[in-house]
Amino acid sequence: MHIVVVGLNYRTAPVEVRERFSFADKDMPQALQELLRTKSVLEGVIIATCNRTEIYVVVDRLQMCGSFIRSFMERWFGVAREEFTRHLYMYEDEQAIRHLFRVACGLDSMVLGETQILGQVKNAFLVSQSEKGTGTWFNMLFKQAVTLGKRAHSETAIGESAVSVSYAAVELGKRIFGSFEGKRVLILGAGKMSELTAKHLSGAGAEEVLVANRTYARAQELAAKCEGVPCTMQEAMERLEEVDILISSTGAEGYVITSAQVARSMKGRQDRPLFVIDIAVPRDIEPAIGELEQVFLYDIDDLEGIVESNMEMRRAEAVKIEAMIEEEMAAFATWLQTLGVKPVIRALQEKASDIHESTLDSLFNKLPELDERQRKVIRRLTKSILNQMMHDPINRIKELAGEGQGTEALELFTQIFALEDRLVESQSDASSGKETSASMESQETLPPQESEGLTDLQGVVPSRIPFESEPSLPLAKVSV
């Protein structure tokens, strides 16, 4: 079996393409059922956000699986594959696993290290699990991905620094005032930058947010979004002495606030400082304002310097997370390798049990004078001898299965104990629909309460993941 992801994101497709391939929450269960009916697909999870749509599947063969997934997308979205294939990327096996881990950690996000995607990955997994779309492989893989994402943010500082101008403005205000509680903020302008800043301020606990714009209706619209108070530009100037923070982002060609206006307002402030952020280009605030007592002026260059410095710090933290990902890749590889040892061990135990029962039957037929108590003692002692004889070989093959030559070790183990026929019989039972313990295990799903308690995985580091080597489809490969 193989793990494959086919998707498109903000790097490979513009928003007008991405919006055509979005899944509504209410339609996701039906979409998953349609995906699971797709040829070769055994398990499936769909991650759909504003910046990406990714379809993760476990398939029984690589050949043609990309075509099958594209056919699913054609059917579901009603878009001919010729219109979207050039926007797709496809990763297989190790690349697919690494990609999922990077996505969960925020390393593949538009904003490096953002945390929202982790919740989206977890939710996508739980939705698929509730639809019985995940089995042994994805229950383990997605559980591990979410655990890794949590570790990445708790054990590194990747999410601690602002990396957008609007958020940097708010963070700068926090550095100066410590907290926005009890602070009044005046925002000049109602464009996109002002809207983002207003939302950050509202979330930071500002007591009151005043929104002023030349068009009063736009001021009202933005104020409604951030639970602020709309006002005209004239009213804003009159209330300047009341505010603690002034943030300006208008489209004006000249200065909106002059040094003289601020100087007059400072007379009634009783030495309260005024924090001024000018994020407009061209600038809204006369630079001379920064020379006034108790006035602290920052412009877009100051903020971009902060953003770039913070981004450098995030990139440094990302290197640490990449190392974590390699560790988890090795852990998942170990788990996959040891997954193959279970039917072999089961076959050995069943063969030993059959020999044990056959030998006892022969012994008891030859010694009919034995009473029930004596038979139980003999059964218990011979069973103990058998278990002790198998103990070391079983432990050793488990260890070998997690090493680089695990596949060869399993083959040799199977030959030494002559288990070939039993394994073939077990596979035949599974394919015919008989509920053997092996086939039932392959369909098991974690109950919701277990999936909430996501824990770390430990394992021996192998040299590689033992996937089969098959030809890849000619889909566009995108660097991760």
Q: Tell me whether residue 189 is annotated as binding.
A: yes
> How would you classify the pairing of strands 184-188 and 89-92?
unpaired
Pairing of strands 274-278, 2-9: unpaired
CA atoms within 13 A on the CB side of 379: 14
Is 248 annotated as contributing to ligand binding? no
Q: How far apart are CA 144 and CA 469, in angstroms?
A: 24
Say which residues have a Cβ less than 8 Å from residue 157's Cβ, sequence separation at least 6. Answer: 313, 317
Active-site residue identified among 50, 65, 105, 231: 50
- Is 191 labelled as part of a ligand binding site? yes
How many CA atoms does the CB half-sphere of 112 hold within 13 Å?
19
Active-site residue, 65 included: no
Question: Do the annotations mark residue 52 as ligand-binding?
Answer: yes
Whether 142 and 121 have beta carbons less than 8 Å apart is answered as yes
Flag whether 376 is marked binding: no
Burial class (CB in 10 A: 0-12, 13-18, 19+), 368: exposed
User: Would you say 143 and 446 are in contact if contact means Cβ atoms under 8 Å apart?
Assistant: yes
Is the bond leading into 466 cis (omega within 30 degrees of zero)? no
Q: Is 109 annotated as a binding residue?
A: yes
193 is in an annotated binding site: yes
Cβ 187 vs Cβ 217: under 8 Å:
no
- Please tell me whether 38 is known to bind a ligand: no
Is 49 annotated as a binding-site member? Answer: yes
Q: Do the strands 184-188 and 208-212 form a parallel or antiparallel pair, or are they unpaired?
A: parallel
* 231 marked as part of a ligand binding site: no
What the block records as the tokens of 377 is 């003692």
116 annotated ligand-binding residue: yes
Cβ–Cβ under 8 Å, residues 149 and 121: yes
Q: At what angle do helices 94-105 and 300-339 cross, to 10 degrees?
A: 140
**What residue numbers does the annotated binding site for substrate cover?**
49-52, 109, 114-116, 120
**What residue numbers does the annotated binding site for NADP(+) cover?**
189-194
**Residues catalogued as catalytic:** 50
**What residue numbers does the annotated binding site cover?**
49-52, 109, 114-116, 120, 189-194
